[in-house]
């Protein structure tokens, strides 16, 4: 940064890029390094690649459940554990119930706070908690994951693939120091788990001790770049940071796309103003940099295939199937281009209809009675 250069480590070798202005928007990644065994067994849920991997593992669980239903064998119990009771964790848990069904699979949501969706609006938090209860999700609050270890009791079903067996694990839970809600669970619990998903503990994206973690830029304890209200870094006026990897004030903003998109608009103007000052050479002609001010336009959450909840800036509150379709429409409108918006609307709607039909077919299906 001192020499207006960025050093990039590519597979083909080291590359150096010169810049007049630099904007860092590397986002964040889910980190489970602090819990012994979590990195080995847990699948983080943050990137597109991780979504595809989850889709692959769910297909394996589908195949296993179908084979168990078609046989007289009892089969291995199927438990899915989601760690983190924020937006992503609650949305993931509820969509898993819709995807896998609640009769054959138990979904457990583990959250270290006193309640899930702590930073959501009251309407969305209440809608989410009611939906979790009605969907049969086992919610464990004031609970932390202490350790994850291999689970192999030798009683696995022959119908279970080797890939599924390798990801079987035991999740050891402990009560936090906060007051414990009575969920009918002891303070120390061990969960035999078929699939462990991790949405808690995000840190700025990069390899350990590399990228922005290995730069001269000032960072907080979580690794986020400290910026001024105008989103540029102290002592580096032409370096800007936005999104999850930045922290422009003492109390961090929510780690949402809405915050990052608003930051991008302000940072773009401030880069233009910075470069205009540099190339005009006249201080009196320079444009003023704008401080970032977050405007919460509301929030939307999916609560399953045909359910969602919405709270807007204008005080509109909506839940249920209508909110689900409206949420899809809003995302389509916010796409960068009309083509992407049309694709998001059509593809999302067709997927929603197909998943609903598949779920209804599974509910009507009955195990084959082999004689």
Per residue in 297-313, pLDDT tens? 889 999 998 899 999 87
Residue 286 in 3-state DSSP? Answer: coil
Lowest mean pLDDT among 80-89, 145-154, 253-262, 280-289: 280-289
Lowest mean pLDDT among 37-41, 120-124, 180-184, 270-274: 180-184
pLDDT at residue 49 is higher than 80: yes
Beta strands in 211-350 (DSSP E): 225-226, 232-233, 236-241, 246-247, 298-302, 308-312, 317-319
Q: Kindly list the distances between the CA atom of residue 45 and the CA atoms of 33, 201, 362, 363, in Å, as whole numbers in the listed order.
A: 14, 11, 26, 28
Confidence of residue 256 (pLDDT cuts 50, 70, 90): confident
Q: 370 or 110: whose pLDDT is higher? A: 110
pLDDT at residue 207 is higher than 80: no
pLDDT score, position 351: 65
Residue 248 in 3-state DSSP? Answer: coil
pLDDT at residue 179 is higher than 50: no
Residue with tokens 């999302």: 348
pLDDT score, position 59: 92
Token reading at 40: 């080995």
Q: 132 or 335: whose pLDDT is higher? A: 132
Contact at 8 Å (CB) between 140 and 185?
Answer: yes
Residue 81 in 3-state DSSP? Answer: strand
Mean pLDDT of 287-303: 92
Cα pseudo-dihedral 197, 199, 200, 204, rounded to 10: 120
Q: 10 or 79: whose pLDDT is higher? A: 79
Mean pLDDT of 279-283: 68
Residue with tokens 């609650």: 90
pLDDT at residue 238 is higher than 50: yes
| Calpha distance 273→308 (Å, rounded) | 41
Contact at 8 Å (CB) between 60 and 76?
Answer: no
pLDDT at residue 74 is higher than 70: no
Q: 23 or 183: whose pLDDT is higher? A: 23
Mean of the per-residue pLDDT values of the chain: 84
Lowest mean pLDDT among 157-171, 229-243, 265-279: 157-171
Contact at 8 Å (CB) between 238 and 259?
Answer: no
| Calpha distance 248→241 (Å, rounded) | 9
Terminal CA-to-CA distance of the chain, rounded, Å? 74
Confidence of residue 209 (pLDDT cuts 50, 70, 90): low
Confidence of residue 158 (pLDDT cuts 50, 70, 90): low
Mean pLDDT of 84-97: 94
Residue with tokens 């379709």: 325
pLDDT at residue 367 is higher than 50: no
pTM: predicted TM-score of the whole model, two decimal places:
0.80
Put the strands of the sheet holding 298-302 in their side by side order.
298-302, 308-312, 317-319
Mean pLDDT of 252-262: 88
pLDDT score, position 278: 79
123: how many CB neighbours lie within 10 A of its CB?
A: 17
């Amino acid at each position: 940064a001192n020499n207006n250069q960025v050093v990039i480590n590519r597979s083909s070798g080291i590359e150096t890029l010169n810049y007049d202005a630099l904007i860092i928007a590397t986002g964040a990644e889910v980190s489970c390094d602090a819990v012994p065994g979590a990195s080995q067994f847990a699948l983080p849920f943050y990137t597109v690649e991780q979504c595809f991997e989850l889709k692959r593992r769910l297909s394996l669980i589908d195949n296993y459940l179908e084979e168990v239903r078609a046989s007289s064998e009892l089969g291995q119990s199927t438990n899915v554990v989601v760690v983190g009771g924020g937006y992503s964790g609650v949305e993931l848990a509820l969509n898993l119930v819709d995807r896998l069904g609640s009769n054959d699979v138990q979904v457990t949501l583990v959250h270290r706070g006193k309640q899930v969706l702590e930073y959501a609006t009251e309407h969305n938090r209440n809608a989410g908690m009611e939906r979790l209860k009605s969907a049969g999700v086992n919610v464990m609050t004031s609970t932390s994951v202490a350790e994850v270890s291999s689970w192999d009791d030798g009683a696995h079903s022959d119908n279970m693939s080797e890939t599924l067996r390798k990801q079987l694990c035991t999740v050891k839970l402990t009560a936090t120091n906060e007051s414990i809600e009575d969920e009918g669970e002891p303070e120390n619990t061990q969960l035999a788990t078929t699939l462990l998903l991790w949405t808690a503990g995000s840190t700025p994206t990069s390899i350990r001790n590399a990228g922005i973690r290995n730069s001269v830029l000032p960072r907080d304890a979580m690794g986020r770049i400290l910026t001024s209200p105008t989103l540029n870094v102290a002592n580096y006026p032409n370096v800007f940071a936005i999104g999850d990897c930045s922290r422009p004030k003492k109390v961090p903003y929510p780690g949402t796309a809405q915050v990052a998109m608003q930051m991008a608009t302000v940072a773009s103007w401030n880069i233009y103003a910075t470069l205009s000052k540099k190339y005009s050479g006249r201080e009196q002609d320079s444009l003023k940099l704008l401080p970032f001010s977050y405007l919460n336009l509301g929030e939307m959450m999916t609560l399953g295939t045909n359910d969602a909840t919405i709270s807007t800036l204008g005080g509109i509150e909506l839940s249920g199937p209508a909110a689900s379709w409206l949420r899809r429409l809003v995302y389509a409108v916010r796409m960068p281009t009309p083509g992407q918006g049309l694709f998001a609307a059509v593809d999302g709607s067709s997927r929603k209809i197909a998943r609903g039909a598949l779920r209804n077919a599974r509910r009507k299906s009955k195990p084959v009675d082999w004689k």
